[in-house]
A and B are shown apart, each in its own frame.
Chain A
């Protein structure tokens, strides 16, 4: 499954990241790498973006970008 499909309150582990371009580097730099644990904390009132906890801090990401992140439920 991909990160955008994870329900609020659930956690998952990154298995692969398929993003491209500038956004790819940004997402990698923010610590979303293979094996990183992510928990989905919230979704914005209008359904997008989503708020995550990764490596102990809060990160907000659009669902379209989250769709490039392959995960398995933790």
Chain B
């Protein structure tokens, strides 16, 4: 016979472990408080006729949380043949409290005593036979973790379901029983006989749902008053009291202390929750997580995934993890970096020579690694690039003479994203050129030294062709003489990246150009960008699962509750914030450990205000190019992130959607235990897989759309592929033009800046890349071109720093990349109001702060007050009002009756 078995128990009683044991570990569905709380269904591994329903972990059957409503509705529905109540034996009294409620459904109940090992370790003994006698229910000892006693539990449950013997509910004091009996007699006739006691008790507890079910029941009020008069307390307290009294009658006989000692948990808490040490230890643990998942193992894994598997390729070189400096990649880089540097120098010098009207086509064709296709076609079929050939050398000599005569000096800057530094290069030919370049470099160095930031910017002079020159003391080959690195296979066991493989395959089948570009630059690049984060996410979630599983996570709230409560956030908000500095996607996902739904939503909405690692290049650009490497830009960017989270928290907490839910803090601190490795792996994989699946679909679609917008456009009246050369005509440029006006009050209203906002949505790394493309066409330094364009949009040259800072502010605070938006969508439960509220708040906040930055900066610098200054002051006033206004009085209607 097919039966349905419902698993019910307190949170942390081992229910999910048992469910996995029963069903064969397969039916794993995420169950996070607040997200779609669902019940999991599976079938028994050994007998497919037994259906297992895993209900959410609950302490009681009051109708206050989603979990409890789901559990209660299901148990009343009559679809359940037997309830298996998982009781954490190490916390017997409180777990049996739920048992006394389960006994009122008229459904057979089997008690599964779990975690007996902890009981024994603590020096207790529990007499399960005596417990069974006292409750009048079958009691089975199990260990969900090790799979012990589970078969016996199933057969007892099956027997109980077949017999269908009505359960005798817990008996209270005679006086209370009499009053309940009277009330049962007066219940409406439609209440089924076996649920009469349940309804009577729930009525006394003023359960709104039951009162609604009962219909017109004004005449029952007398019963409630009778109970309260008799016991001198509110009826719900009387009932709770009666349940615990019932339990305490027998629990002393059942549970005996044999060998009392301080429990392990107490010993650990003595250190971890120590009044003095708790905060430093917490900081250390967070730093360790950050260190492992973001800066060391995590960044190695992300680099490998992004640049290796989803990049050009990678070396199979396990030793390099320990000693990267002697690995194959390091050997390749040692050859490739000077070559790349030299290639940049050549290209920059040639472009500077072209500006002076010198023909460079032969030099380009011979000495550039990737010369322009059209140039090669121009030179004809027979042309073979060969830097060593006499033709090439002759052309070089001729070019050098012309360049020296014209006094060509190329000047360009490169920004180091990691070191937040900038290097200025001066490329020259000949002795005269050397003197000139040296003079320019000295000038630059003096200027930098005058600003007091000599370490952020360095000037280097660079010979265009000399065989070797002294650069920081060593003899290095330079310019056109630098040899290209060997083939990858020369350095070690090279494994080509997925894009390379797909690219080769597409070339082999001679695929159409547009399709090749769509697949490679649209789909592969986009999906690769998402999948590249997977290793880091897995590491992070493994560590978070460890923290949750061992019991420390609950203690984090204990330590931080006081700080974050003020901002309407949970103590656990800190973890998403820290993780968010690495990547917003795992940061948002880490918010799942927050129990309170309103705090969790608030955290999801604000986590990406923290500058993630992809936003660092933007900070680097603004701080070096605009502010000459000033030390305060980067710390200020982080401070803005933290302040935005705190201020948003305080403001939003006072608005209706968030005030509606009080955030009670009543937290059980579970026993410490060592989680099983497989459970950690499963938790890690489940979350990573969800990320791959859902964020992957969104980003795929988004990148295809962006690929289309930036690649196609209307040129000379014709809709066509425009590519990078004609980017001004792309749909993206048109789009940028169409909404650039929005940024007028922010000081950067041109299509180039607007289009970086759009490409930043794909990935924040794109912002700098797009800037290089859209500003790169006009002059040798695109950073300079960017600043020149700001002088126009902001109104004057002196406002450039303010406009640039406003640009950075907006880029850092506005809606995150599509991958992070995918994570927000997941945490909010779909493209619902909450999702749009989150994106809207982020964009609105970014806009407001950037507007205040630009307009007030302008007011201070120019002293001219206009309408926009007034708007900025109004917004600032509104934010301050939101911060200081008192909490509006708002009563939760559904609870008013209960208080």
* A-to-B contact residues, CB < 8 Å: 16-17, 20-31, 33-36, 41-49, 51, 55-62, 65
Q: Of B94, B240, B276, B664, which is within 8 A of A57 by CB?
A: B94
Within 8 Å CB of A62, what residues of B? 561, 565, 665
CB-CB nearest in chain B for A36:
B244
Shortest beta-carbon distance from A40 to chain B in Å = 13
Residue pair B244, A51 in contact (C-beta under 8 Å): no
Residue pair B669, A60 in contact (C-beta under 8 Å): yes
Within 8 Å CB of B273, what residues of A? 42, 44, 51
Within 8 Å CB of B557, what residues of A? 60
Q: Which of B268-314 contact A (CB under 8 A)?
A: 269, 273, 275-276, 278-279
Residue pair B669, A31 in contact (C-beta under 8 Å): no
Residue pair A44, B561 in contact (C-beta under 8 Å): yes
8 interchain pairs, CB-CB under 8 A: A24-B236, A31-B93, A33-B241, A42-B273, A44-B273, A44-B562, A58-B269, A65-B665
Query: In the complex, A31→B895 CA distance in Å?
Result: 21
Known: A25-B62, A25-B64. A49 touches B93 (CB 8 A): no
Shortest beta-carbon distance from B626 to chain A in Å = 40
B475 at the interface (CB under 8 A from A): no
Residue pair B664, A22 in contact (C-beta under 8 Å): yes
Q: Of A21, A29, A47, A49, which is within 8 A of B665 by CB?
A: A49
Query: In the complex, A28→B279 CA distance in Å?
Result: 31
Residue pair B91, A56 in contact (C-beta under 8 Å): yes
Within 8 Å CB of B92, what residues of A? 56
Within 8 Å CB of B241, what residues of A? 33-35
Residue pair A31, B558 in contact (C-beta under 8 Å): no
Residue pair B279, A25 in contact (C-beta under 8 Å): no
Mask, B240-262, CB within 8 Å of A = 1, is 11001100000000000000000
Residue pair A47, B562 in contact (C-beta under 8 Å): yes
Known: A30-B666, A61-B665. A44 touches B94 (CB 8 A): no
Query: In the complex, A62→B465 CA distance in Å?
Result: 73
Interface of B is mostly: helix
Within 8 Å CB of A57, what residues of B? 90-91, 94, 668
Residue pair A21, B275 in contact (C-beta under 8 Å): no
CB-CB nearest in chain B for A48:
B562
CB-CB nearest in chain B for A14:
B241
Shortest beta-carbon distance from A5 to chain B in Å = 18
Residue pair A21, B892 in contact (C-beta under 8 Å): yes
CB-CB nearest in chain B for A31:
B94
The size class of the interface chain B forms with chain A is 35 or more
Query: In the complex, A48→B275 CA distance in Å?
Result: 11
Within 8 Å CB of B76, what residues of A? none
CB-CB nearest in chain B for A61:
B666
Residue pair B668, A59 in contact (C-beta under 8 Å): yes
B741 at the interface (CB under 8 A from A): no
Residue pair A56, B562 in contact (C-beta under 8 Å): no
Residue pair B665, A58 in contact (C-beta under 8 Å): no
Within 8 Å CB of A48, what residues of B? 561-562
Residue pair A28, B668 in contact (C-beta under 8 Å): no
Mask, B852-891, CB within 8 Å of A = 1, is 0000000000000000000000000000000000000000
Within 8 Å CB of A59, what residues of B? 666-669
Query: In the complex, A16→B882 CA distance in Å?
Result: 38
* B-to-A contact residues, CB < 8 Å: 59-60, 62, 64, 90-94, 97, 233, 236-237, 240-241, 244-245, 265, 269, 273, 275-276, 278-279, 554, 557-559, 561-563, 565, 662, 664-670, 892, 895, 898-899
Ordered nearest first, which 8 A-B pairs have the shortest CB separation? A20-B899, A29-B60, A58-B669, A55-B93, A46-B562, A28-B240, A57-B91, A33-B241
Known: A29-B60, A29-B62. A49 touches B237 (CB 8 A): no
Within 8 Å CB of B562, what residues of A? 44, 46-49
Shortest beta-carbon distance from A7 to chain B in Å = 13
Query: In the complex, A16→B59 CA distance in Å?
Result: 22
Shortest beta-carbon distance from B416 to chain A in Å = 40
Within 8 Å CB of A60, what residues of B? 554, 557-558, 665-669
The CB with the most chain B CB atoms within 10 A, among A27, A42, A44, A65, is that of A44
Known: A25-B60, A26-B666, A49-B665. A58 touches B265 (CB 8 A): yes
Shortest beta-carbon distance from A65 to chain B in Å = 7
Residue pair B244, A33 in contact (C-beta under 8 Å): yes
Query: In the complex, A27→B562 CA distance in Å?
Result: 19
Residue pair B97, A31 in contact (C-beta under 8 Å): yes
Query: In the complex, A63→B64 CA distance in Å?
Result: 22
Shortest beta-carbon distance from A19 to chain B in Å = 8
Q: Of B97, B565, B898, which is within 8 A of A25 by CB?
A: B898
The CB with the most chain A CB atoms within 10 A, among B90, B92, B669, is that of B669
Shortest beta-carbon distance from B252 to chain A in Å = 11
Residue pair A55, B236 in contact (C-beta under 8 Å): no
Within 8 Å CB of B59, what residues of A? 26, 29-30
Known: A42-B275, A44-B562, A49-B561. 16 other contacts (CB 8 A): A17-B237, A21-B895, A23-B664, A25-B60, A29-B97, A30-B59, A33-B237, A43-B275, A45-B275, A46-B559, A49-B665, A51-B269, A57-B90, A60-B669, A62-B565, A62-B665
Query: In the complex, A31→B243 CA distance in Å?
Result: 10
Residue pair B233, A34 in contact (C-beta under 8 Å): yes
Q: Of B244, B245, B662, which is within 8 A of A22 by CB?
A: B662
Residue pair B665, A42 in contact (C-beta under 8 Å): no
Residue pair B265, A22 in contact (C-beta under 8 Å): no
Query: In the complex, A59→B834 CA distance in Å?
Result: 32
Shortest beta-carbon distance from B770 to chain A in Å = 45
Q: Of A20, A23, A29, A51, which is within 8 A of B240 by CB?
A: A29
Shortest beta-carbon distance from A32 to chain B in Å = 9
CB-CB nearest in chain A for B899:
A20
Within 8 Å CB of B62, what residues of A? 25, 29
Query: In the complex, A65→B665 CA distance in Å?
Result: 9
Residue pair B244, A44 in contact (C-beta under 8 Å): no
Residue pair B269, A42 in contact (C-beta under 8 Å): yes
Query: In the complex, A22→B240 CA distance in Å?
Result: 15
Q: Of A21, A30, A61, which is within 8 A of B899 by CB?
A: A21
Query: In the complex, A60→B668 CA distance in Å?
Result: 6
CB-CB nearest in chain A for B557:
A60
Within 8 Å CB of A31, what residues of B? 93-94, 97, 244
Query: In the complex, A68→B92 CA distance in Å?
Result: 26
Q: Of B90, B233, B236, B662, which is within 8 A of A23 by CB?
A: B662
Shortest beta-carbon distance from A11 to chain B in Å = 15
Within 8 Å CB of B276, what residues of A? 45
Residue pair A44, B667 in contact (C-beta under 8 Å): no
Known: A22-B64, A25-B60, A47-B562. A30 touches B668 (CB 8 A): yes
Shortest beta-carbon distance from B891 to chain A in Å = 9
Known: A56-B91, A61-B665. A24 touches B559 (CB 8 A): no
Within 8 Å CB of A23, what residues of B? 662, 664, 666
Query: In the complex, A24→B895 CA distance in Å?
Result: 10
Shortest beta-carbon distance from A54 to chain B in Å = 8
Residue pair A21, B97 in contact (C-beta under 8 Å): no
Query: In the complex, A4→B664 CA distance in Å?
Result: 16
Query: In the complex, A6→B146 CA distance in Å?
Result: 41
Residue pair A46, B563 in contact (C-beta under 8 Å): yes
Query: In the complex, A51→B287 CA distance in Å?
Result: 25
Within 8 Å CB of A49, what residues of B? 558, 561-562, 665, 667
Query: In the complex, A19→B58 CA distance in Å?
Result: 21
Known: A21-B898, A48-B561. A33 touches B665 (CB 8 A): no
Shortest beta-carbon distance from B256 to chain A in Å = 13
Within 8 Å CB of B895, what residues of A? 21-22
Shortest beta-carbon distance from B455 to chain A in Å = 38
Within 8 Å CB of A58, what residues of B? 265, 269, 668-670
The CB with the most chain B CB atoms within 10 A, among A17, A23, A59, A65, is that of A23
Query: In the complex, A47→B898 CA distance in Å?
Result: 31
Query: In the complex, A41→B563 CA distance in Å?
Result: 21
CB-CB nearest in chain A for B280:
A45
Within 8 Å CB of A22, what residues of B? 64, 662, 664, 892, 895, 898
Within 8 Å CB of A45, what residues of B? 275-276, 278-279, 559
The CB with the most chain B CB atoms within 10 A, among A17, A41, A45, A60, is that of A45
